[in-house]
Amino acid sequence: MRRERATKIVATLGPASSSPEMIKALFEAGVDVFRLNFSHGTQENHGRVLGAVRALEKEVGRPIGVLADLQGPKLRLGKFVDGFINITAGSTLRFDTDPAPGDEKRVPIPHPEIIEALHEGSTVLLDDGKVRVRVVRKGSGYIDAEVIAGNKLSNNKGFNVPDVLLPVSALTDKDRSDLFFALDLGVEWIALSFVQSPQDVIDAKELIQGRAQVNLKLEKPLAVEHLTRLTELSDSIMVARGDLGVELSLPEIPALQKRVIRESRRLGKPVIVATQMLESMISAPVPTRAEVSDVATAVYDGADAVMLSAESAAGQYPVEAVAMMDRIIKQVEQDPGYRAIIESQRPDSGHSVADAVTQAAYQAANSVNAAAIVTYTLSGTTTLHAARERPRIPIIGIASQLSTARRLVMSYGVHVVHAPEEIHTFGEMATKATQVTLEHGFAKEGNCIAITAGVPFATPGTTNVLRLITLDKAMMAQLPSGSKPVEVPRRAAAKTDDASVLRSAPVANEAE
């Protein structure tokens, strides 16, 4: 099964979409990566759902990625005597650590470390920003705060403190339990919630020990201040606009989204745009025009993937939401102006051998109108370098390890193929690349393909070879029996001056 688009779709599984039949329907509608939200459900349920995803993967013969999203330190108020209180702007509320139910004058916060971290002038946002207060006085175990906006507070509502570095870890005890459970299940990605500083990512990676890759959810303004360092430390980024929209001014979010996408692309890290993308489809069969524009904007910005949350997890129209997102992406990518925008945002090339080879492959593929860029990869680095260029032609990522193949499914423009067979020579590499390209419908006789790989083979981080191959009769005669080309109606045969194999001299890099 092949996607006719470069931008990928991540969908959250939940009560509306956890059956094997629904998971298959979502995949067929266009889902590339499934998200397990550990803020909801039990470990048992998530394990059962992941089992269904793995069974589907075997059935369809295509790698499918899974992202385990940890809840993080969600801060909540205590309870009130009557379940809620009415408040007015200008009034003063006392927040303290007394667990007794609160009233119109007093609000319990069961987090003494938060009281300690706050100071006069701090802003506290309650109930997703519906209530806003400012600290006017601080005492032993309490703060007094003036109500700036809002008229009601009820039990257990969440609260956010945007301008203070809170003395809490990004991983709670629950998160640690869920983390090790997810790692034992073999998920490809761990999403970290409410990260404040680079140390949060470093601590998580020490626990993960390379068993999965880290997806950093950008939700806190303090994290934005460390954007470059956090992107360097993480393996992918999620622009989680829900909590960002609570703690930042809403008009700031669009520009920040573009900035995060540019920085992630510059560093070659996949980036997901998430939250409320097709929110109205939770209860309606079609989205609003504004939501369609929101998804389209993320695609025009060059995101690797766009994500559905409640739309697919708990909505009434999960399959329709995925199908709609698929249609929007395809429509944008067919727009003549889309390619011009993507090209104008291309980051400067790096200075490593891998960067040079990838850049050469991009330019050579364009020059000869290649049908595809084929990357051989062990760790995924070679393919990520290719995806960073956002080429107009497909990238075929041939991965020898299944875990790598599943991770690469998230990356822009990459059609992933798991090929566990070891490659030892250039001849074997060319034969396998040609075979995969034909069998998966990316080329036919007369087309040219560009291949990048690393020598020695099966060594991570050694992208140092570029080879161009024209699929002539002689080349196709050397393929294993049963390797039949699939009709490729959307691309004409490449025009080349030489019908023989075109090969560049391998660029050795003994230092890498």
Q: Which residues are catalytic?
A: 35, 76, 217, 275
Please state, in angstroms and rounded to a whole number, the distance separating the CA atoms of residues 270 and 263.
10
Place of tokens 């801060």: 75
Residue 81: Cβ within 10 Å count? 12
Where does residue 401 rank: exposed (0-12), middle (13-18), buried (19+ CB within 10 A)? middle
Q: Tokens representing 3?
A: 């996607």
Please state, in angstroms and rounded to a whole number, the distance separating the CA atoms of residues 370 and 438.
13
DSSP state letter for 280? G
The widest CA-to-CA distance across the chain, in whole angstroms, is 85
Question: What is the three-class DSSP state of 155?
Answer: coil
Please state, in angstroms and rounded to a whole number, the distance separating the CA atoms of residues 425 and 414.
24
Per DSSP, what are the bridge partners of residue 396? 374, 415
Please state, in angstroms and rounded to a whole number, the distance separating the CA atoms of residues 433 and 1.
18
Could you tell me if 372 and 417 are in contact, meaning their C-beta atoms sit under 8 angstroms apart?
no
Question: How do 395-399 and 463-470 pair as beta strands?
Answer: unpaired
Closest CA to 430 of 401, 453, 399: 453
Could you tell me if 231 and 267 are in contact, meaning their C-beta atoms sit under 8 angstroms apart?
yes
Could you tell me if 170 and 200 are in contact, meaning their C-beta atoms sit under 8 angstroms apart?
yes
DSSP state letter for 237? E
Closest CA to 58 of 401, 418, 368: 418
